[in-house]
Amino acid sequence: MTSPTTITPRRLRILLVKPKASLRTVIALQRFQLLEPIELGYLAAAVGPEHEVRVLDLRFESSARRALEQTLIRFRPDVVGLTGYTHVAVVMKDLARLIRRTLPDTCLVIGGHHATVAPDDFDMPEIDMVVRGEGCGTFRAIVDALANHRPLPDLPGTRRPGPSFRQIDPESWPAFPGVEKMPVPRRDLWDHRRYYCVWTGEESRYSDPLFPPVSMVRSSFGCRMTCSFCIVPKLFGGRHYARDPEEVAREIANLATDHVYFCDDENFIDPEFADALADALERMGVKKHYFAWARTTTVNRHPELFRRWRALGLDVTFLGFEFATDDMLRRIRKGSTLAQNEQALEVLRGLNIAVHVAFMILPEWGVSDFEALRDYVARMPPAEFSFTVCTPSPGTADYDAMRSRIWVEQPSLVHDCMHPLLPTKLSLREFSRQYSLTVAAAARRNPMRVRAIPRRARDLLRVLYAEFFYVRSFRRLHKDFPPHLRHYTGRCLQRELGG
């Protein structure tokens, strides 16, 4: 009789990689905000302390490929986890080839937003496993299998490149496992002082840092609304999952930074939870500065909640206005009216909470539409503004509806919600000019600028420099398109489309 042999699990070296964007618009945006690779912190926490994990944030590297290659050679990871949004999908594929060439035996796992919404893009032999949706449990199971000398397991939400890759029903969305399965992200794998966000405030003072070090915290997952362009309802099955308020408060209390950027989809959609989190923070005596996301309807329904959070340190709230007409708000099923949006802005300003207002632009806009938006912004009370082009995410019904009209062969190359994916009515050059004029005009409406709050010379220079590159990236938007589109005039396109 043979006695059962016990195989000692291996301690694995795991490298988690955040790619560097290639689009000027995203790189320019990073001059204002560069936030922690928190998704990688989650994955690192999930695999546990028994493995050696490193995070490589390529956004800081002048040559991302060289930095990755050197890390691969020096660290020789057993597993590489690569994440990314849609706008870096092509970059990710290039990095996958580099990883495979450099370390043929390393297990390469791909996850993140693009892998979730468009997994077919990663059906390539260089990749061992594609993970869709929330990845902590799955990544842990993959690492466990490898550490225990077992083959890669077949897990829900995963695909192995090969003949069966595309046979999986694209409509089968991986279910969110629930908040109790989520670990507290590891933040010791990066230097928190490198991550920042420009910090607007209605009550901002000279001595307040304009680019403070910032940590990201996720207090809840998902949203109950069904905006037709947004992927969040699909990711979380139309549900909002709130974490244990005590646990969130503890996580915030333990942060090395004073500034917290919530990366929830909507922080206040469950007012009982937002109140309970405020209770917990108060009980623990936590005093920090917060940036949060809210729907305008939530603000109007619960102004007292925002008053309470202002006292706790809520400095800025992100409001998705989306459009400046009720007709458009109805079309995208936003569930709010322009009057409601304006009311929310007033409520928050009345509480001295600065507001970040987000608008969308449509490819079919003419000059007068841009002018109307600029007029509207000029009449609005001071706020921080951002503008995206309405480009629904792959995986939404809106994306499927426009798919046949997408004018670039490889949409992910310009899919950062700042480049039009559908033919523009204006020439692309004029569209870019109008877009940049809108961004520049709105920058002058920032509350700190309107009230001419004096700032440190260094901060002032940094923000002006960032703004210059940001506005310029929109002005040059047309240059990011393939050569045959760059010089297209709108009229030409309309003829092409038969319009």
Positions touching ligand SF4 (CB under 6 A) are: 223, 225, 227, 230, 232-233, 265-266, 295, 320
Q: Which H or E run includes 290?
A: strand 289-294
Residue 338 vs 418, nearer CB to ligand B12: 418
Helix axes 64-75, 89-102, angle to 10 degrees: 40
Tell me which residues in 288-307 interact with ligand B12 (CB under 6 A). Answer: none
Q: Determine the angle formed by the axes of helices 303-312 and 338-350, rounding to 10 degrees.
A: 40
The listed partner (ligand SF4, ligand B12, none) that binds 83, CB under 5 to 8 Å by sort, is ligand B12
In this complex, which beta carbon is closest to ligand B12, that of residue 31 or of residue 302? 31
Q: How far is the CB of 247 from ligand B12 (least distance, A)?
A: 15
Residues 6 or more apart whose CB falls under 8 angstroms from that of 254 comprise none
Nearer Cβ to ligand SF4 (186/334): 334
Task: Check the CA dihedral 388-389-394-397 and report its sign.
Answer: positive
Residue 82 or 348: the one with the smaller Cβ distance to ligand B12 is 82
Q: Among 10, 13, 35, 406, which residue sits at the site for ligand B12 (rule: CB under 6 A)?
A: 35
At position 1, the amino acid (one-letter code) is M
User: In this chain, which stretch among 38-46, 269-277, 328-336, 476-484 interacts with ligand B12, using CB under 6 A?
Assistant: 38-46
- Residue 461 makes CB contacts below 8 A (sequence gap 6+) with none
Identify whether the C-beta of residue 89 lies closer than 8 Å to the C-beta of residue 121: yes
Question: Closest distance between ligand B12 and the C-beta of residue 308, in Å?
Answer: 23
Residue closest to ligand B12 (Cβ):
111
3-state helix, strand, coil in the chain (%, to 5): 45, 15, 40
Distance in Å, CB of 428 to ligand SF4, minimum: 27
Please say which residue, 114 or 234, places its beta carbon nearer to ligand SF4. Answer: 234
Q: Which does 388 bind (CB under 5 to 8 A by kind): ligand SF4, ligand B12, none?
A: ligand B12
CA distances to 101, 217, 244, 259, 335 from 252, rounded to whole Å, are 41, 7, 13, 10, 32
The candidate with the shortest Cα–Cα distance to 110, out of 21, 39, 38, is: 39
Query: Measured between alpha carbons, how far is residue 55 from residues 16, 102, 189, 193, 275 in Å?
Result: 5, 18, 6, 15, 34
Beta carbon of residue 222, minimum distance to ligand B12 (angstroms, whole number): 7
Stretch that binds ligand B12, among 49-57, 111-119, 200-208, 244-252 (CB under 6 A): 111-119
The option from ligand SF4, ligand B12, none interacting with 225 (CB < 5 to 8 A, set by class) reads ligand SF4
| Rounded CA separation 61/236 (Å) | 33
* Residue of the chain from 12, 21, 96, 348 that contacts ligand B12 (CB under 6 A): 21
The contact mask relative to ligand B12 for 307-346 (x = CB under 6 A, - = no) is ----------------------------------------
Q: Which stretch binds ligand B12 (CB under 6 A): 299-307, 367-375, 414-422, 455-463?
A: 414-422
List Cβ neighbours of 466 (8 Å cut-off, separation of 6 or more).
28, 31, 32, 198
Angstrom distance (rounded) from CA 491 to CA 348: 43
Q: What are phi and psi of 497, to 5 degrees?
A: -85, -5
Measured from the Cβ of residue 416, the count of other Cβ atoms closer than 10 Å reads: 22
Minimum Å distance from CB 391 to ligand B12? 8
Does 139 bind ligand B12 (CB under 6 A)? Our answer is yes
Q: How far is the CB of 117 from ligand B12 (least distance, A)?
A: 5
DSSP state of 392: P
Per rule CB under 6 A, is residue 44 in the interface with ligand B12? no
Closest approach of ligand B12 to the CB of residue 278, in Å: 21
Residues 73-102 that bind ligand B12 (CB under 6 A): 81-83, 85-87
Nearer to ligand SF4, 227 or 448 (CB): 227
Looking at residues 229 to 248 of the shown chain, list those that interact with ligand B12 (rule: CB under 6 A).
230-232, 235
Tokens, residue 430? 């004029």
